Amino acid sequence: MSRLSCARLVPALIAALLMLGGALPPTLADTPNATQTPAPPTGLATAPDTAAAQSPAPAPPPAATPAPAPAAAATPPPAATPAPAAAPEAPAMGSTTMAAAPPPGKALIAFLRPSIWGGPVASSLFEIVDNKAVMVGILHQKQRLNVVVTPGTHLYMLMGESAEFMSAEVLADKTYYVAIHPHMGVWKARFTLKPVHQDMLDTKEFENWKYACALIDHTARDDEWASLNASQIEDKRAKYYPDFQKMSDAERPALRAADGR
């Protein structure tokens, strides 16, 4: 068949097919290429594009720190409280101690009450300072009270039913001893102060006195009792001290400086 005949035949065939309602066959351009990459399945995520793969956007700048509040005005210091008026100086007197020897520059006077006579009746010991009775301590049977004093002269009063007195002259760094002896009174026991002199310090009797007595100390209850009975204490000091003054030097109970050891 010649080329002219084929050229005429093709249009006629196409027209016939159109008339029959057939569709045109797909051209080679419309046929899928076997090497074409298929579209990804629906629902699968596609690879991120270049813009999405870039580094994340920078974080927003932090909020500005609020300015600090203005400092509060400084509180002025409180007005100085005036110092209280100084209390009147207490009269110089001895203090009790549980030590067996005086501190340097001081003397120690040990008051012993070794006898069981007098029972529970208290013997109240005072030092007379400027004509006033100052509480030193209260002793009962078989008790000992150590009193630290300054070197020099002291005056003591022992009170029971009556009041008895004793002077003492003591030296620094020495220890002295005084025995308290009860005796019969009208209504209750009376007591006397007996200085232990040098010639008695090495006797068996004195050694027994020392070991018979338990060491005690001055307590707040002693001061409380003295405060509650201040008028009675002063009455006895005023009543009995003149009798002591009337005694001769030989009669007055006195602790001598040489009696210390």
Q: What is the DSSP letter of 3?
A: H
Judge contact between 125 and 136, C-beta under 8 A: yes
Residues 6+ away with beta carbon under 8 Å from 102: 108, 148, 172, 173, 174, 175
Q: How far apart are CA 142 and CA 68, in angstroms?
A: 77
Q: Which CATH architecture has domain 95-259?
A: Sandwich (2.60)
* Residues 182, 158 contacting (CB under 8 angstroms): no
The first and second tokens of residue 222, run together, are 């002693």
pLDDT of residue 251: 93
Q: Is 152 left (phi over 0), alpha (psi -120 to 50) or beta?
A: left
User: What pLDDT, on the 0 to 100 scale, is given for residue 115?
Assistant: 87
| Residue 33, pLDDT score | 43
Q: Which of 166, 221, 171, 220 is nearest to 195 (CA)?
A: 166
Please report the pLDDT score of residue 13 as a whole number. Answer: 57
**Whole-number Cα distances in Å, 67 to 39, 41, 70, 71:** 59, 58, 9, 12
What separation in angstroms does the CA of 104 have from each of 126, 148, 171, 241, 255? 24, 11, 11, 33, 21
Yes or no: say if 137 and 222 are a contact pair by the CB < 8 Å rule: yes
pLDDT in the model for residue 54: 44
User: Nearest-CA neighbor of 154 among 113, 195, 122?
Assistant: 195
Q: Is 225:126 a contact under the CB 8 Å cutoff? A: no
List per-residue pLDDT tens for the chain, 261 residues long: 555 455 565 555 555 555 554 444 444 334 344 444 444 444 434 334 433 334 444 555 555 555 555 555 455 555 544 444 443 333 345 676 777 789 999 999 999 999 887 777 889 999 999 999 999 999 999 999 999 999 999 999 999 889 999 999 999 999 999 999 987 666 667 899 999 999 999 999 999 999 999 999 999 999 999 999 999 999 999 999 999 999 999 999 999 999 999
Burial 173-211 (b: 16+ CB within 10 A, else e): ebbbbbbbbbeeeeeebbbbbbbbeeeebeeeebeebee
How do beta strands 163-170 and 175-183 pair?
unpaired
